[in-house]
Amino acid sequence: MSKKVNLLDQVNTSFDRAAKYTEFEKGLLEQVKVCNAVYHMTFPLRRDNGTIEVIHGWRAQHSYHRLPVKGGIRYTPHANEDEVAALAALMSYKCAIVDVPFGGGKGAIRIDPRKYSKAERERITRRYTHELVTRNMIGPSTDVPAPDYGTGQQEMAWIADTYSALVPASIDAFGCVTGKPVSMSGVRGRISATGRGVFFGIYEACEVAKDMKEIGLTPGIAGKRVVIQGLGNVGYHAARYLQEAGAIIIGVCEFEGSIYSENGIDIERLKEFRDETGSVMNFAGTKALAHRADGLELECDILVPAALENQITIENADRIQAKIVAEAANGPVTAEANDILRERGVMIIPDMFLNAGGVTVSYFEWIKNLTRVRFGRMGKRFEQRKDAKMLHALQDLTGKKIDPQLFEEITTGGDEADLVHSGLEETMITAFHAIREVQKFHGDIDMRTAAMVLAIDKIAATYVERGIFP
């Protein structure tokens, strides 16, 4: 019988391992580690058939060293207090790693969204928001939720609309939540942000020749064989960007089963197929694996678990054949499995860094909501004219005409999506090399421990600098 793994214990184990490499006193480290507040709410739902059901929800606020706190809301039948507290802690750490000025938060409602109508989900979401508003646990300056597992733009739109109705005097009301539709002051590029961030992190890791040599790979993404677990928003976009960069997607694992093709799987066509049929199974040119979990154990260069936590445990870690495990989900590798994989020479790119693309672009959306100015609006035309003048002067000096298509490409100013993507790429690359510097400084520690050391140092330093002690 498999042992049930507690995600909060896993996060705290990672914290304790990293804390040994810091110089802060025990009491301060305990303050950084502990979840500051968790609120458990219950409320009734009148279902479409007339029956009444009690709904359970949570909101955790892990750290107030920076405000607002930030973190998604997930709808899952397995939600519980420990999971929410663990995910809030991870949010604090990932925000610190990528220099996003938020504390960590997280929310959850214990439902299977597939078993509720759209009208029922709307009533649940609006009541949940009301509960948060009445307890001052949501707002642009206090706590800013975002989408997570089982939620998306629609739920965030309901939250923003409910908050703005309950707090009508707030000019920044739509800054109470991120991941909204663009029409409701969302930001272009948010939907693909986490998956794109996963791609940037993997790409940068594969560029380090020394690290690749140690695990028996050549530098670069091109030609790398990749297995993706989870074809949701994160997994799909990560796979798409990896494939566009030259990687070969040889396996896809989903709830309904796993498929494999040594010749590669066209992710765009697979996504269309699954949208039409509801399953990845029987996709042309692929073979079905005997068991869903077998996909994780395929021989590959890069395994990207992009589903839920605790997917690689002490029970299957010995059978993982990937050389790189890139944690696109939160907590997919347990602490014990992490040790086994490390002993076998597997590189693990940790979740608290790799899936920080979502909160990074949520930060950009929050800034947009506070300033009420679309990115690119102030400078796009100015940059276009300046670049055009420079190219015209170059043509005059050389007497050679620049190709019109090239001229247009050079002089096209960045729009909102371009600027968001650029900011995300810069953030992920900078954070990756900051983690690598910590690894070098402390010697023989893995990337997860280095990332946690970096996070602890930044959060604890903020507590010290602000003097947040009674």
Residues with catalytic roles:
106
Nearest to 227 by CA among 132, 303, 290: 303
Question: What count of other Cβ atoms lies within 10 Å of the Cβ of residue 44?
Answer: 10
Alpha carbon separation from 138 to 73, 173, 412 (Å, rounded)? 12, 10, 39
Q: Which two tokens stand for residue 209?
A: 């020749």
Q: Which residues pair with 287 in a beta bridge?
A: 260
Sheet holding 69-75, edge to edge: 37-46, 52-61, 103-109, 69-75, 143-147
What sign does the dihedral 385-390-396-400 (CA atoms) show?
negative
Give CA–CA dist 83/329, Å, rounded: 14
Give CA–CA dist 296/279, Å, rounded: 18
Give CA–CA dist 446/3, Å, rounded: 25
Give CA–CA dist 64/49, Å, rounded: 42
Residues 6+ apart with CB under 8 A from 336: 313, 314, 317
Q: Which residue has the tokens 């989408």?
A: 147
φ, ψ at 83 (rounded to 5°) = -65, -45
Give CA–CA dist 74/109, Å, rounded: 6
Give CA–CA dist 295/261, Å, rounded: 11
